[in-house]
Chain A
Amino acid sequence: MTLLDQDLAARVIGLALSRGGDFAELFAERRSGYNLRLEEGKVEENISGREAGAGIRVICGESVAYAYTNDLSPASLEETARAAAAAARAGKAAVVDMEKPLRHLPRLEEHPVRLSLGEFPRERKVELLHRADQAARETGSHIVQVVVVLGDARQEVFIANSLGEAVTDLRVRVRMVVQAVAAHEGEIQTGHESPGILGGYELFQEFPPEEIGRAAALQALTMLEARPAPSGPMAVVIANGTGGVLFHEACGHSLEADAVYKRASVFAGRMGQKVASPLVNAYDDATLANRWGSFVYDDEGVRAARTPLIVEGVLVGYINDRKRAMRDGAEPTGNGRRQSYRHVPIPRMSNTYIEAGGGRVEDIIADTELGLYARKLGGGEVNPVTGDFIFAVTEGYMIRKGKVAEPVKGATLIGNGPRVLLDIDAVGDDIDFDTGMCGKEGQLVPVCTGQPTLRVRELVVGGTTEVI
């Protein structure tokens, strides 16, 4: 069963193109979700939501007109289509035949949900939060606060367009985020863990809530003991998993075709050129089974794909959406994503990672005389035009004489994306992924970042003391 009647969809698309345009599309969704939040050992947020809505888009050259409503009645959809049509300024009408029945693309179940949201009772969801909380608190007496958030969501989408295609897809996601706060003698530190999947409550078979809680607590406790980080340039070894956020932010966004088109990208005009150390291979892959950033069809109804970005240091691909593929004469890469029916799809990453190399982690560290070991990175920010970035190191250690030494706090990494890619001089074999919610133009979408342990020859560490 689909969300909307196919004839209605075809009629609405026809209306959207009535004043001209190259392409029109209807995106409808029905979403329900349950969110729990535990703090101070108590469930204090307990929210159940149901939402439906549709967005209609008309592309006309480089212009996009978009209108949305959360009323799915035929009258409301027609009115919304007329608003989108009126917004499509000055364009020639595309030759579109909306009389033919829509061609429904196959419905695929590549990311099975083993324990569905409805099958897993609410009592047990609540219990998961308490288990994570308790484990975190038992990790050490200096843990003063634990926040556990559990969210599940079920999103049914129906997409139809003026190419005569229709797609139905179902995305089910579950994620737990644990934040632990440790305090001692006026010092406060936090630790963070956040596993999630495109799938159901089987998530907790792989990641028992106790382990999630304990890992977050250990990180906070470790940093409580930390000394202030030094400042200045030094070698930086970035650990697997969360380290991938650096590639995502400092390079990935510059590989999005809209940024390239606007030349708001350090990689504009660099296709086929050497942009990284020959050790670097990077991909965006939305097909990885049950990964948090995966999907079957993107939010424009394009099939998910694995897209090579950098191969042996050479730039080989950008990621695009339909509009950029159409305008740039490129193949669609299946990266047109949106937060919801309220948002226009734009090129977005899915699961973006640097592929594992041949180095062993022990060797990479042993080979580093003095440097910083960034075990976990927190958030960061990048200027897409210059590639300059800054990242917080939420769990960091000094490397001294080839050994991981004392923990250091308050460190940031500051540098330039393209320069870091060239300065990578060792790539480990231990690839791992981390989940995140990536923000762009006010839209959040689930993504994975990933990388093996790797070393950057030199990066500026922003800390508060001199290197000792």
Chain B
Amino acid sequence: MEARAELRSLLEEWVERARTLAGEGAELELYAQEHRGLTVKVYGGEVESLRYAHSRGLGVRVLKGGRLGYAYCTGFDWEECRRAVEEAAAIALFSAPDEHNRLPWPGGAYPEDLGIYHPEVEGTSSDEKVEIALRLEEFTISRDPRIKRVETAVYADAVSEVAVANSLGVSGSYRSTECQCYVFPIAEEGEESQTGFSFDVAVKPSDLDLERVAGEAADRATCLLGSRSMPSRRTTVVLDNMVAAEFMGMLAAALSAEAVLKARSFLAGRQGDRVASSLVTVVDDGLLPGAPSTAPFDDEGVPTRRKELISEGVLVGYLHNMYTASRSGTESTGNATRSSFRERPGVGATNLFLLTGKGTREELVRGVEDGVLILQVVGAHAGANPVSGEISLGALGLRIRNGELEQPLREITLAGKATDFLRHTVAVGEDLRFLPFEGSLGAPTVVVEGVMVSGRG
């Protein structure tokens, strides 16, 4: 990452200058983030909005006798940096001392060539990017006469640069690019309307598969037309890969050692236990080539890597940053994350996914005599609780009878315990897909038996 040496050396210089400001025996970390991006939203063949972003900021972590102070600023010069260092050092006194607050030591060279940067993003004009969003909308509408319009079609990209340096000698930087497109079509028939959704994500604009996104989004909306509720019953559910990936968000939260240490995880104290069917293997891989959350190091400078968290149904480990690793007597897994320079590092997944099994969604559906294919869940934030492990979600989908997709369903709920979902997983498909929206969560189609589906009628 030659080109990025400037930001890194600037931080190294500031760390040196700030050492004495933070006080005797204090440790210090600077984290800088710079971001340029473009977001285009189109509606009805017109640009609804076009947004250029440029921001950068600096986060300062000071540790004094285990007490943590954090300050950030958006000004990007030594004066602003100095003020933030002094502020962080001053407020550190109000934190409880905690011996596990520590910064990483340098741990060897960071990997390069992870396939996370491509100059095409910067080389593509905004007019061409507008075209991408317009084409996506047009493809979606022309897919089916019942798709009268799309709620929104979006192209978005970002070029980011991250650098971290600390007083123990860690220093690194990298840049990355990400492009995505997504569309929400509305299918209408009579009085009824249904929304669909699909997306794609890539390192460069020319890798976005607009035809596929348009087709899938349209199909997801139209197949729900004519939907109604169904009587409550316990049944087999097939979780579509996007839905299964949303469930992975709940697992990622529960597998965080921070949640475990703080009794906020239904998977706390279960290391070494069988928590899922042997078909379930969950992996977190910060080095997955070209994936949305791939980076050479995590947000406190620890090298990232691949690790299994659940191996064939057995819980083998949690996600750690420096702090949780120290408290648990283990090593950081390279899972320190922060959503911006405004936050101190917490614990989070990189690219976390359910390892594939065998079969397409069609094949898995064919194996279900009586059940429900779930295409959308609503309320995942509130209704999939990683603390209690309780799941209670609204859903849309299709009834399955004798391996065939039949009546579309709405106003139904799925309810149960996450541990039961994990244990009663009877099939895992091969169609792994990542949702790039909150971290990077991936799953193939999953079949779960004995789930309570409630509705009316």
Contacts and interface: CB of A to CB of B under 8 A. Distances in A.
A47 B346 CA distance: 13
Interface in A276-305: none
Given A144-B263, A381-B394, A460-B229, A63 B452 contact: no
B382 A380 contact: yes
A61 interface: yes
B94 A46 contact: yes
B55 A68 contact: yes
Given A48-B91, A380-B379, A464-B415, A388 B394 contact: yes
Given A390-B393, A411-B392, A46 B232 contact: no
B75 interface: yes
B49 A47 contact: no
Contacts, number: 230
B439 to A, nearest CB: 15
Interface stretch (B294-302, B362-370, B383-391, B441-449): B383-391
A191 to B, nearest CB: 11
Interface in B45-72: 46-57, 68-72
A386 B68 contact: no
A94 to B, nearest CB: 18
Interface residues on B, range: 35 or more
Interface in A392-414: 392, 409-412, 414
B71 A63 contact: no
Give the one of B151, B264, B410, B454 with max A CB within 10 A. B454
A84 interface: yes
Given A49-B71, A231-B232, A70 B379 contact: no
A68 B74 CA distance: 13
Contacts of A70: 54-57, 74
B194 A385 contact: yes
Interface in B8-43: 43
B320 to A, nearest CB: 16
Nearest to B394: A390
Interface string B240-274: 00000000000000000000001110100000000
Given A231-B232, A379-B379, A385 B151 contact: yes
A277 to B, nearest CB: 20
Contact of A181 (B88, B381, B387): B387
Given A87-B52, A181-B263, A381-B378, A45 B70 contact: yes
B342 A47 contact: yes
B390 A410 contact: yes
Given A144-B263, A462-B413, A47 B72 contact: yes
Contacts of B151: 262, 264, 385
Interface in B380-423: 380-383, 385, 387-390, 392-394, 410-413, 415-416
A89 interface: yes
B126 interface: yes
Contacts of B130: 89
A381 B380 CA distance: 8
Given A65-B50, A392-B392, A414-B411, A342 B55 contact: yes
Interface string A52-64: 1100000001111
B344 interface: yes
Given A412-B392, A460-B455, A46 B411 contact: no
Nearest to B72: A49
A233 interface: yes
B39 to A, nearest CB: 9
Contact of B88 (A36, A48, A69, A83): A48
A336 B393 CA distance: 32
B456 A47 contact: no
Given A48-B88, A414-B394, A264 B186 contact: yes
A43 B70 CA distance: 12
Given A379-B382, A460-B229, A64 B262 contact: no
Given A40-B262, A388-B378, A46 B68 contact: yes
Interface of A: 34, 36, 39-53, 61-71, 80, 83-84, 86-87, 89, 122-123, 126, 144-145, 147, 181, 183, 188-190, 231-233, 262-264, 342, 344, 378-383, 385-386, 388-392, 409-412, 414-416, 460-464
Interface of B: 43-44, 46-57, 68-76, 83-84, 87-88, 91-92, 94-96, 98, 126, 130, 149, 151, 186, 192-195, 229, 232, 262-264, 266, 342-344, 378-383, 385, 387-390, 392-394, 410-413, 415-416, 452, 454-456
18 contacts: A44-B95, A45-B68, A46-B70, A47-B342, A49-B73, A49-B342, A51-B57, A63-B48, A64-B50, A181-B264, A264-B151, A344-B49, A379-B379, A381-B394, A385-B193, A460-B454, A462-B413, A464-B416
